[in-house]
Amino acid sequence: MSLTTSYFYRVIVRRFRANRFAVYGAGIVAALFIISFLAPYLTPYAPDDLDAYHVLLPPSTAHWLGTDELGRDVLTRIIYGARISLKVGFVSVGIAALIGTVAGLFAGYYGGWIDQVLMRFVDIMLCFPTFFLMLAVIAMLEPSIWYIMIIIGLTGWMGVARLVRAEVLSLRERDFVLAARAIGASDLRIIFVHILPNALSPVIVTATLGVAGAILTESALSFLGIGVQPPVPSWGNMLTAGKDYLEFAWWLSLFPGLAILVTVIAYNLVGEGLRDALDPRTSRT
């Protein structure tokens, strides 16, 4: 790593650490990963352990967040549900970022009819109400977490494509690109070796914010009963199960809802912090 690159990364880290809320969000995200990874060691219960003698118990020392209508430990199911949410968020956003980045790179670099075709397709995709499109597609398929991740990814790449295209349009006439052309570098080498690393900042920020959106989308689909199917724990289907017991078992809906709220806020804070840290126009050093 060159001294210039090392200094660049140190500046980014310093800018990010200067944003207290972004650091708090990063801490929550890191804690979610650790809790998800260590789930079997953090609770003595399994997420599908039934106990007919301890149904709808309020929070207590034995069950910190209470039990549900089947006697299952709510805290355990929330911890295991975090695995589902994180998996959906990262896989679906990875698909969207990959498609959007490639489309934006080619549209911005080549321009002309390639740009017109790709951007008009983006406009067409943006005309569809995304959530209802996902509902229609999933309704025709067997409910599956993999279908959900793929569909969220295939319907969420358009914003990334537009951002990358805008970056490439400003980069393709820079001196380092002209120098690469002058020495005979191929278009693919210029795109993926010279332009792509310099266009990744908006992709990173958008992907971070997109994870929060994907988690909300998965929770909404599971709440409607066409997402992750029971008995697999998901924060969305936990909310669905708890809505019938709101009058006397408030904990069934409160704690999964808080898990969604805190996770989405944490990812949004991290995304905002990364946007400020990666923005070269910021005055902070």
b/e per residue 102-138 (b: at least 16 CB within 10 A): bbbbbbbbeeeeebeebbeebeebeeeebeeebbeeb
- 263 pLDDT band, cuts 50/70/90, is very high
pLDDT at 21: 93
Q: Which of 101-110, 118-127, 275-284 has the lowest mean pLDDT?
A: 275-284
Give the mean model confidence (pLDDT) for residues 246-263: 91
- Tens digits of residue pLDDT in 76-89: 999 999 988 888 88
Cβ-in-10-Å burial (0-12, 13-18, 19+) of 67 comes to: buried
Cα–Cα distance measured from residue 98 to residue 278, given in angstroms and rounded to the nearest whole number: 20
Cα–Cα distance measured from residue 257 to residue 278, given in angstroms and rounded to the nearest whole number: 32
pLDDT at 8: 67
pLDDT at 80: 93
Query: Which domains can be identified in the chain, with CATH numbers?
Result: 3-278 (1.10.3720.10)
CB 164 within 8 A of CB 105: yes
pLDDT at 164: 93
User: Reduced to 3 states, what is the DSSP secondary structure of residue 67?
Assistant: strand
User: Reduced to 3 states, what is the DSSP secondary structure of residue 2?
Assistant: coil
Q: Look at residue 284 and tell me whether its pLDDT is greater than 50.
A: no
**Residue among 107, 285, 91 nearest 195 (CA):** 107
Q: Look at residue 196 and tell me whether its pLDDT is greater than 60.
A: yes
Cα–Cα distance measured from residue 276 to residue 2, given in angstroms and rounded to the nearest whole number: 24
Cα–Cα distance measured from residue 47 to residue 231, given in angstroms and rounded to the nearest whole number: 8
Q: Look at residue 173 and tell me whether its pLDDT is greater than 90.
A: no
Q: Which of 5-14, 100-109, 118-127 has the lowest mean pLDDT?
A: 5-14
CA dihedral 108, 100, 203, 128 (to 10 degrees): 110
Q: Look at residue 214 and tell me whether its pLDDT is greater than 70.
A: yes
CA atoms within 13 Å, Cβ hemisphere of 128: 16
Percent of the chain with pLDDT over 90: 35
- Tens digits of residue pLDDT in 24-50: 999 999 999 999 889 888 888 888 888
Q: Look at residue 101 and tell me whether its pLDDT is greater than 90.
A: yes
Q: What share of the chain is helix, strand, coil (3-state, %, to 5)?
A: 75, 0, 25
Cα–Cα distance measured from residue 235 to residue 165, given in angstroms and rounded to the nearest whole number: 36
Give the mean model confidence (pLDDT) for residues 94-121: 93
**First-residue to last-residue Cα distance in the chain:** 21
Q: Look at residue 138 and tell me whether its pLDDT is greater than 80.
A: no
Cα–Cα distance measured from residue 204 to residue 210, given in angstroms and rounded to the nearest whole number: 10
Give the mean model confidence (pLDDT) for residues 229-237: 86
Phi-psi category of residue 199: left, alpha or beta, with phi > 0 → left and psi -120 to 50 → alpha: alpha
Asked if omega into 44 is within 30° of 0 (cis), the reply is no
User: Reduced to 3 states, what is the DSSP secondary structure of residue 73?
Assistant: strand
